[in-house]
């Protein structure tokens, strides 16, 4: 048994690295649906079906706890999966929760009425599918009032990162920040709502300027997982080495992952 981490591609490796740093003894199974990436341009039903199939696959691999390290999957599939029923002894968690906890400075289990928070103007950078879902705004509205969220769909960024073209990725990030600033000239905070974006977080921060607080997911998700496993230790599983599985070309995905993490990563083809 291990904790499963799922993403449509390689962006979730940023979450895996943060979890590995925070919980070095925790066995992990990373599953990338690279054959169907990117999810950010797919419709909600398609994303739900692909995500549901991936989560069930990881449950079958012995991962009782699965983290959707993909904002598009979290936005389109998580609530629906939870509402339709998760099997006893299984859990699936998303990556929005730690972001919103950090932004609102309140724990997810705090069910008190929405209240004012320190940040009133938030820029959300995400994939087109995540932006279209408005899932981040919906979840935030349950916990905070008076927060203006301006979302910017960052088309092309994930594709550039997946292809290893960081020059194009940087140019696209700066273009999307410029577009956001035309709609919200002075954001107080920026949310990087895609797990690929930490790989270009410095570019976002530079383009936004020093007065904008940037919220990125990997460290927040790792801290939230550590807290969850402290409260639910049985969900951590027992023993076993970490594994990397992909629906794509294992050699090509391994090469890209090695470039991402700057250490050798060997993916296996998912059975």
Where is the domain boundary, 217, 241, 256?
217
Do 201 and 111 belong to one domain? yes
Do 154 and 82 belong to one domain? no
What CATH number did the domain enclosing 58 receive? 3.40.50.1860
User: Per the structure, how many domains does the chain have?
Assistant: 2
Do 163 and 265 belong to one domain? no
Summarize the confidence of residues 77-92 as an average pLDDT. Answer: 93
Where is the domain boundary, 179, 200, 217?
217
Catalytic residue annotation: 70, 194
Q: Is 249 helix (H, G, I), strand (E, B) or coil?
A: coil
Is-above-0.85 flag for pTM? Answer: yes
Q: pLDDT per residue over 201-213, tens digit each?
A: 999 999 999 999 9
Q: What is the pLDDT of residue 81?
A: 94
Where is the domain boundary, 182, 201, 217?
217
Locate 207 and state its tokens: 């383009």
Least confident of 108-112, 114-118, 264-268: 108-112
Q: pLDDT per residue over 15-42, tens digit each?
A: 999 999 999 999 999 999 999 998 988 9
Separation of alpha carbons 195 and 71, rounded Å: 7
Compute how many other C-beta atoms are within 10 angstroms of the C-beta atom of residue 166.
14
Do 239 and 190 belong to one domain? no
User: Which percentage of the chain shows pLDDT scores above 90?
Assistant: 79
Least confident of 109-113, 138-142, 150-154, 192-196: 109-113
**Strand 115-116 relative to strand 91-93, pairing:** unpaired
Separation of alpha carbons 5 and 94, rounded Å: 10
**In angstroms, what CA-CA distances link 30 with 63, 224, 227?**
10, 18, 20
Per-residue b/e over 221-249, b at no fewer than 16 CB within 10 Å?
Answer: bbbbbeebbeeeeebbbeeeeebbbbbbe
Half-sphere exposure of 215 (CA within 13 A, CB side): 25
Summarize the confidence of residues 167-187 as an average pLDDT. Answer: 98
Q: What is the pLDDT of residue 18?
A: 96
Half-sphere exposure of 57 (CA within 13 A, CB side): 20
Q: What is the pLDDT of residue 21?
A: 95
**Strand 213-215 relative to strand 144-145, pairing:** unpaired
Compute how many other C-beta atoms are within 10 angstroms of the C-beta atom of residue 26.
17
Q: In sequence order, which residues have a C-beta less than 8 Å from that of residue 98 and are 6 or more positions away?
A: 217, 220, 221, 223, 224
Q: Is 23 exposed, middle or buried (0-12, 13-18, 19+ CB in 10 A)?
A: middle
Higher pLDDT, 234 or 238: 234
Question: Contact, 207 vs 173, CB < 8 A?
Answer: yes
Summarize the confidence of residues 228-247 as an average pLDDT. Answer: 86
Do 119 and 203 belong to one domain? yes
260: confidence class by pLDDT, cuts 50, 70, 90? confident
Q: pLDDT per residue over 42-64, tens digit each?
A: 999 999 999 999 999 999 999 99
Do 52 and 164 belong to one domain? no
Question: Contact, 64 vs 91, CB < 8 A?
Answer: yes
Locate 135 and state its tokens: 């899932």
Do 70 and 136 belong to one domain? no
Do 90 and 103 belong to one domain? no
244: confidence class by pLDDT, cuts 50, 70, 90? very high
Q: Which domain holds residue 17?
A: 3-95+218-269
Separation of alpha carbons 152 and 97, rounded Å: 20
**Average pLDDT in the chain:** 93
């Amino acid at each position: 048994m291990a904790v499963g981490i799922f993403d449509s591609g390689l962006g979730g490796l940023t979450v895996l690295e943060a979890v590995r740093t925070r919980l070095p003894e925790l066995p992990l199974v990373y599953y990338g649906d690279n054959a169907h990436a990117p999810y950010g341009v797919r419709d909600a039903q398609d994303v739900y079906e692909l995500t549901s199939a991936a989560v069930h696959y990881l449950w079958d691999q012995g991962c009782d706890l699965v983290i959707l390290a993909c904002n598009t999957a979290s936005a389109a599939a998580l609530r629906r999966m939870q509402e339709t029923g998760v099997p006893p002894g299984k859990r699936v968690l998303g990556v929005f929760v730690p972001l919103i906890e950090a932004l609102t400075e309140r724990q997810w289990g705090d069910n008190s009425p929405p209240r004012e928070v320190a940040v009133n103007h938030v820029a959300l950078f995400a994939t087109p599918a995540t932006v279209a879902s408005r899932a981040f705004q919906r979840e935030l509205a349950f916990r905070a009032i008076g927060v203006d969220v301006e979302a910017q769909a960052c088309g092309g960024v994930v594709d550039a990162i997946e292809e290893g073209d960081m020059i194009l990725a940087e140019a696209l990030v700066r273009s999307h920040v410029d577009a956001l600033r035309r709609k919200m000239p002075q954001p107080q905070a920026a949310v990087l709502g895609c797990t690929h974006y930490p790989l270009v977080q410095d570019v976002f921060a530079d383009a936004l300027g020093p007065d904008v607080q940037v919220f990125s997911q990997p460290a927040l998700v790792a801290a939230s997982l550590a807290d969850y496993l402290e409260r639910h230790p049985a969900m951590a599983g027992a023993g076993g080495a970490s594994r990397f599985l992909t629906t794509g070309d294992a050699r090509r995905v391994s090469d890209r992952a090695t470039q991402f993490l700057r250490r050798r990563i060997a993916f296996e083809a998912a059975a």
